[in-house]
Structure 1
Amino acid sequence: MSKEISYTIEEVSQLLKVSKLTIYDLIKKGDLPVFRVGRQMRMDAKDLDHYISNNKTNQGTTPPAQELHQQRMEPRASKNIVISGQDIVLDILGKHIEKSSTYKALRSYSGSLNSLIALYNGECEIVSLHMFDGDTGEYNLPYVKKILVGYPYILINLVSRKAGFYVQKGNPLHLTTWADLNQENVKIINREKGSGARILLDEQLRIHDISSKNINGYGHEETNHLSVASAVSTGIADVGVGIEKAAKIVGIDFVPLITERYDLVLLKTPENEKLIRMVKETLSSQLFQSEINSLGDYDHSQTGSIIYETY
């Protein structure tokens, strides 16, 4: 690549086929150097090439002839699995599963409800959920019971995390409750239909008897937490709903309003027996939990706990 070429964070995430949250985390750790043009972060092509080169496995090594022959005679059959959801924790889960098995973890970045429907349609294997039910005050299970009718499944806790408002530094409009959104001078940035953050907002509006028609900016949508946080950071909106991690990455203030349970659901089929066992072992491992703990802003006290299971 030419030294004059540089990429936006969005372009880097597309090139590496990971979420923008993963890229921001690598930047925060110092693994990927960036520079700024105004408010936009960019990355030199040579720095991206250097990162990719340094993280390739088996660099400069050639297996012995006998080992190479054995690899050819006894290939390890791999099976693709799709993990759906946006959180960086899912990237870490996929990495651990790949290290311990012949599974190849592919990522889909759909929102919770759309992911659950995709699971129903057989389009993915592991789905992450954070869907609040206003009638019960519970996360995820009410939706799973309604959508996975007739399917055996298991619901396992991944992590818990804070959800709330993204606001500008100092919270100039003093937004602290859901009712505060019902003001003409407050402009929100929304998430797409089917996302957990959108469901949380809609349920809270329903509970507080607030019409979405009265919410300034309700129809302006973004498709991930970072984009919503960035819109607040740049002044496009005054407030958005999302998780604490993205606020810290972007550098804005966060008003916590609820602790959400972020769960995984898998179908209990004969083909999935090994995968379910692998997921349980991974979530319960000290190595995985230590890696999650190092990220900050996640509660792993229930990680690996079975929330609900059909028999």
Structure 2
Amino acid sequence: MTTDMSYTTEEISKLLKISKLTVYDLIKKGDLPAYRVGKQMRVDASDLEAYKTRAKDGMVSTIKSEYVEPVTHHSFQAVSSSNHSLVITGQDVSLDILAKHIERNVAHYRPLRSYVGSMDSLISMYKGESDIVSTHLLDGDTGEYNLPYIRKLLIGSSYIVMNLLSRSAGLYVQPGNPKQLHSWADLKKPGLRLVNREKGSGARVLLDEQLRLHGIPKQRLHGYEQEESNHLGVAGKVATGEADFGVGIEKVASMVNGVEFIPLIQERYDLVMLKKPENLAWIERVKQILQSESFHKELRPIQGYDLSQTGRILFET
């Protein structure tokens, strides 16, 4: 093996028989030294061999979770151990925009994106695996978003909750709404075919809460166990006629041909950050970003976003 040989993250995932996401986590933890050439991460062959030797001797950390790193604008950048990572969870494009602003404006921190649902995001924060988590979880009994779940899962922690945005959520239906679905109560109609979201996602919690509140057994919905991992997948199944409806957000409906959107609720999409002493400096910078005109300017053109509360502190322990 030549000393000047290097590998991409995809090549390393195949060599080690691990996912590409796990490779990113090894790089994040500092177990696998890497550098950036354009938009591509590379690892020298010698560093890979050194990692394999340490792994055989049990000298590397255990992988607990997997993260995706956003594309950077730098043409070449060494991954420095002096830089700290900020793991941002959630799937909305607004989080990718936030990561870009953090990369530009928060010195010595590198944003990493983890594409998981709301419930898993809060659990990852409880476990100490994430830094900025996004959540849009409806508590059907109170009609409140997020805070009831945050209070239960982060007991004993000091944290701040800020609004990222509000957005319209509802039903994806086929053109012309042939099943005439105009409210949650209409889901009582017999023979409806559903394409669902995965457990722990905000859309799944929203559906389950509405079914509970309206006394609709989930067994009545054909395809309840058929899951997609994002809004786009749900809308796609409806567009192809594989399902009569799915739950999602307005923005995605505008991206998929053959889907109409029935708005039913305005959901609040919030961010949670733990107020540890070592976090206070970057939390202040993130607050400034959320309240900045430059950040709002990038979000305004996106259909279905309400920025009237963006950057507002909703709760702080």
State yes or no: 1:268 paired with 2:275.
yes
Task: Find the residue that maps to 2:236 and give its secondary structure.
Answer: helix
Greater helix fraction, Structure 1 or Structure 2: 1
Q: Kindly report which structure 2 residues correspond to 1:32-71, keeping only aligned pairs within 5 A, or say none.
A: 57=74
How many residue pairs align between the two structures?
A: 246
Q: Distance in 2 between the 1:139 and 1:193 partners?
A: 17
CA RMSD of aligned residues (A): 2.1
Gaps of 5+ in 2: 1-19, 22-71
Partner of residue 232, structure 1: 238
Match of 1:300 in 2: 307
Q: Give the SS at the match of 1:250.
A: coil
* Offset from partner CA, 1:269-307 (integer Å, 9 cap, x none): 012112211110000000000100022320111000011
Deviation at 1:78, TM superposition (A): 1.5
Residue of structure 1 equivalent to 2:85: 80
**In structure 2, what is the equivalent of residue 163 of structure 1?**
169
Confirm or deny: 8 A CA contact 2:203 2:248 kept in the other structure.
yes
Q: Deviations over 1:219-250 (max 9, x none)?
A: 11111111001111111101000110111111
Which residue pairs with 1:134 in the alignment?
140
- In structure 1, the residue matched to 2:96 is 91
Residues 1-311 of structure 1: pairs in structure 2 closer than 5 A: 57=74, 77-101=82-106, 102-251=108-257, 252-310=259-317
For the Cα contact (< 8 Å) 1:161–1:259, is it kept in 2?
yes
Distance 1:87 1:167, change over 3 A: same
Task: Please give the TM-score of this superposition, normalised by the length of structure 1.
Answer: 0.76
- 214-223 or 240-249: which moved more? 214-223
Alpha-carbon separation, structure 1, partners of 2:93 and 2:150: 23
Identity of aligned pairs, percent?
Answer: 56
Contact 1:84 1:127 in 2 (8 A): yes
* TM-score computed with the length of structure 2 as normaliser: 0.74
Q: Report runs of 4+ in structure 1 exceeding 6 Å deviation.
A: none
Rounded Cα–Cα distance in structure 2 between residues aligned with 1:220 and 1:184? 18
C-alpha distance in 1 between matches for 2:315 and 2:243: 38
Is the 2:194–2:221 contact (alpha carbons within 8 Å) kept by the matching residues of 1? yes
